Amino acid sequence: MENFAVKQMVPDQIFTDRQPFIDHFYKLALNAIDQKTSSTVLLGHRRMGKTEIFRRVVNRLFFEQDVNKSCCIPVYYEFPKEISNRNDFAIDYLTNFLKWYTAFKMRNENIIIQLEVPQDLIEFIQNNIPNTVGINASISLLKGLIKNTVPLPEQKALKSPSIVANYDNIAIAMFLDEFQNTSLPQYNYSIVGYMKEPVESINCPHFVTGSTMSILSDEILGKGALYGRFDYEHIKPLTPYYSEELVLKAANYYEITLSHPMASHIALRCGGNPFYINSVIRQAARKNISIDSLKALDKIMVIDICSGFIWGELSDQVNFWISRINQYGITRWILYLAALEENEQDINIQRIQAQLKLKENIDVSLDKIKEVLIKLARGDLLEYKAFGDWFGKIQDPVLNEFLKVWGLIEIERQEISIVQEQSLVKLQRTKKQFDEYKGYISEVFIAQFLWNTQGQTFSGHYFNSKTDVKVSDYFFYIDQRVRQSAGKNMEVDIYAAADNEIWLIESKCWKKPVGNDVVLKLFEQSKHVQQRNKEDIRSIKLWIFANEGLTESAKKLCEQHKILWSSKDNLNGLLEKAKLRKLPDIPFYLQETSTIYD
């Protein structure tokens, strides 16, 4: 798309796996024309692509509709971190709405960035577009705001879009970003409470998102005036398959040399976060470093976490949130000491208290430490479970590593070069660790195949089965490297739990055919699952991926126990049917492991 009503920040060449969200919100907005849509929140952690999704939806709505037919007028607004007073906020919100409305009606996106003076905007609207009942009401309100004579100005401004939609019988979709900023300490007046009536408008749904998930879900939408008034859509990290696809796209876009095994490792290290992945690749391009070994990857990760794009983003996030909490010095230490805790799911408050006494010679009560930790959890820097009354680290491997580095540099005042050297030593891998991932790449492809083909049926020849095979209608989760219980041979490569059955899958990227031992192991695991879940009426489907096929005796065992199996050619055929990439050259992939650490 060449024209933008709001600037898209991610190049099309590297935009990955968020199209279903764009299609979904686009459809929701259009459904407002027939009053079939409710206000909806897009919920997820920072840098998952939420803002980009909203921007792309808004651009589609702006350019792909016929203004002469029934349509939905898109409006994009980002709540700022700082507002000087109530009236200024009201003017900003209302003029933004009127500019989007006018720009859409006149098919001129430039109006959105022009007409910054409210009086000029009023005159332009009155001279160029029909002055409907709703628009006249908004113009009258804006005149009053300019004179600073409107009581409860923020309430009136927030209601204005829904009033226009309701009185003029049109559809308007409000896309509101950084919605958590309606509940930060800088506001000494209520914004959230006044949103109750506007978000319930059937002509004017409000789609909201933000960068602080805890505040959005727990404090703004999970209680108070807006409780129960939003549908929820959750956005998660990219799956390993799409994380790897993003790595490959970004490497091509930024023109860096990247070996295929490293794509899998970057995807793993970055936890499926698109921003982290792009940051690593951009840093490699900036330093002109080829990522062709784990040593090279370690170096790039350390550089970026200590002083690069990731450092800039996360340090801004951390410092901004800490500045909102009292006891600034104590808060910084508590966050750093929590990051150093080895147990990720149970941060020891007593140990933090002892370390504060040791390092700063200050006595801080456990209640005060807990209070600070709760405030840090509000900013998605930690995880807090009120019902269990425990604190843990957030599911973000890069953030957790960053907090340790940040503490060394910002709190303990160590030199960046020294921290980089120490971090690099800790990140060094061994070949034994890499060998554990030899089969990982095929597991990633198989798991994505299952996600993408739910409810579809495939010819049995792909599974060496006499009958066609149907993929389950709905998977609750698909996990890799799942241990069924203690004991030998109790780990299965893929465990997929569906509504009507369980899939147990073994993936073997060997250079030789798979033998009886793998088949028998999988069959024994199925019996263990059946015994463990005696009241579970779901059936169990067994599937083996064998890069070089099975031995003749293993084929007979599979037939005997009704176990599906696929060779590399079979799996590639399935991937092609699912419109996914084919497996890379796995023998080459394994050959590279012998030199990957050089």
DSSP string, 162-212: HHHHHHHT-EEEEEEESGGGGGSTT-SS-SGGGGHHHHT-SSS-EEE--S-
DSSP, res 216 = I
Q: How far are the Cα atoms of 307, 309, 405, 408, 425 from residue 415, in angstroms, in the given order?
A: 11, 19, 11, 8, 16
Which domain range does residue 503 map to?
440-592
pLDDT value of position 597? 44
Between 68-82, 364-378, 527-541, 542-556, the lowest mean confidence (pLDDT) is in 527-541
Q: What pTM, to 2 d.p., does this model score?
A: 0.87
Look at residues 342, 343, 419, 339 and name the one whose alpha carbon lies nearest to residue 373: 339
The Cα–Cα gap between 296 and 294 comes to 5
Mean pLDDT of 129-149: 95
Share of the chain above pLDDT 70, in %: 91
3-state helix, strand, coil in the chain (%, to 5): 55, 15, 35
Of 407, 429, 451, the residue that ends a domain is 429
The Cα–Cα gap between 521 and 90 comes to 66
Between 21-25, 61-65, 364-368, 385-389, the lowest mean confidence (pLDDT) is in 385-389
pLDDT value of position 190? 62
* 370 and 475 within one domain: no
Classify 437 as helix, strand or coil.
coil
* 249 and 220 within one domain: no
Q: How far are the Cα atoms of 4, 59, 61, 136, 174 from residue 106, in angstroms, in the given order?
A: 15, 15, 14, 17, 19
- Residue 11 resides in a domain: no
- Dihedral sign for Cα atoms in the order 240, 246, 247, 249: positive
The token pair that represents 436 in the structure block: 């554990």
Task: Measure the CA angle with vertex 184, ends 90 and 177; round to 5°.
Answer: 60
* 252 and 330 within one domain: no
Mean pLDDT of 333-350: 87
Radius of gyration of the chain (CA): 28
The Cα–Cα gap between 96 and 160 comes to 11
* In 185-337, beta strands by DSSP E: 206-208, 231-234
* 415 and 281 within one domain: no
* 287 and 263 within one domain: yes
- Residue 305 resides in a domain: no
Q: pLDDT by residue (tens digit) across 151-192?
A: 999 999 999 999 999 999 999 999 999 888 887 554 555 688
Please tell me which residue, 324 or 290, carries the higher pLDDT value.
290
The Cα–Cα gap between 504 and 523 comes to 9
The CATH code of the domain that includes 536 is 3.40.1350.10
The Cα–Cα gap between 518 and 507 comes to 10
* In 183-311, beta strands by DSSP E: 206-208, 231-234
Element (H, E) at 564: strand 564-566
The CATH code of the domain that includes 398 is 1.10.10
The Cα–Cα gap between 147 and 577 comes to 64
* 153 and 24 within one domain: yes
* Residue 116 burial class via C-beta count within 10 angstroms: exposed 0-12, middle 13-18, buried 19 and up: exposed
Mean pLDDT of 18-31: 96
Q: Is 165 within 8 Å of 175 (Cβ atoms)?
A: no
The Cα–Cα gap between 578 and 497 comes to 20
Q: Is 439 within 8 Å of 589 (Cβ atoms)?
A: no
pLDDT value of position 593? 42
pLDDT value of position 211? 80
* 212 and 245 within one domain: no
* 470 and 362 within one domain: no
pLDDT at 275 over 70: yes
Q: Is 40 within 8 Å of 94 (Cβ atoms)?
A: no
Query: Can you say whether residue 288 is alpha, beta or left, with left for phi > 0 and alpha for psi between -120 and 50 degrees?
Result: left
The Cα–Cα gap between 203 and 32 comes to 6
Q: Is 567 within 8 Å of 542 (Cβ atoms)?
A: no
* 550 and 455 within one domain: yes
- Residue 518 resides in a domain: yes
Q: Give the number of other Cβ atoms within 10 Å of residue 359's Cβ.
A: 13
Q: Is 322 within 8 Å of 381 (Cβ atoms)?
A: no
Please tell me which residue, 233 or 430, carries the higher pLDDT value.
233
Q: Which residue reads 């609750």 in tokens?
A: 476
The CATH code of the domain that includes 31 is 3.40.50.300
pLDDT at 484 over 70: no
pLDDT value of position 85? 85
Q: Which residue reads 């500019």 in tokens?
A: 99
The token pair that represents 411 in the structure block: 């709190």
Look at residues 166, 18, 164, 195 and name the one whose alpha carbon lies nearest to residue 89: 195
The Cα–Cα gap between 411 and 338 comes to 13
- Residue 7 resides in a domain: no
pLDDT-based confidence at residue 530 (cuts at 50, 70, 90): confident
* 3-state DSSP of 360-389: HCCCCCHHHHHHHHHHHHHCCCCEEECCCC
- Residue 8 resides in a domain: no
pLDDT value of position 438? 56
* 73 and 201 within one domain: yes
- Helices first, then strands: H and E counts in the chain: 24, 14
Q: What is the dihedral of CA 364, 367, 371, 374, to 10 degrees?
A: 120
Classify 491 as helix, strand or coil.
strand
- Residue 524 resides in a domain: yes
pLDDT at 388 over 80: no
* 330 and 187 within one domain: no
The Cα–Cα gap between 392 and 280 comes to 26
* 410 and 338 within one domain: yes
Of 212, 234, 256, the residue that ends a domain is 234
Please tell me which residue, 30 or 511, carries the higher pLDDT value.
30
Which residues on adjacent β-strands are paired with residue 385?
390
- Residue 435 resides in a domain: no
Q: pLDDT by residue (tens digit) across 81-105?
A: 777 788 999 999 999 999 999 999 9
Arithmetic mean of pLDDT over the chain: 88
The token pair that represents 110 in the structure block: 């430039």
The token pair that represents 433 in the structure block: 């660790």
Reported residue count of the chain is: 598
Q: Which residue reads 């504060």 in tokens?
A: 356
- Residue 299 resides in a domain: no
Number of structural domains in the chain: 4
pLDDT value of position 428? 63
Q: Is 54 within 8 Å of 25 (Cβ atoms)?
A: yes
Of 375, 403, 429, the residue that ends a domain is 429
Q: pLDDT by residue (tens digit) across 429-477?
A: 444 444 455 567 889 999 999 999 999 999 999 999 999 999 999 999 9
- Dihedral sign for Cα atoms in the order 582, 583, 587, 591: positive
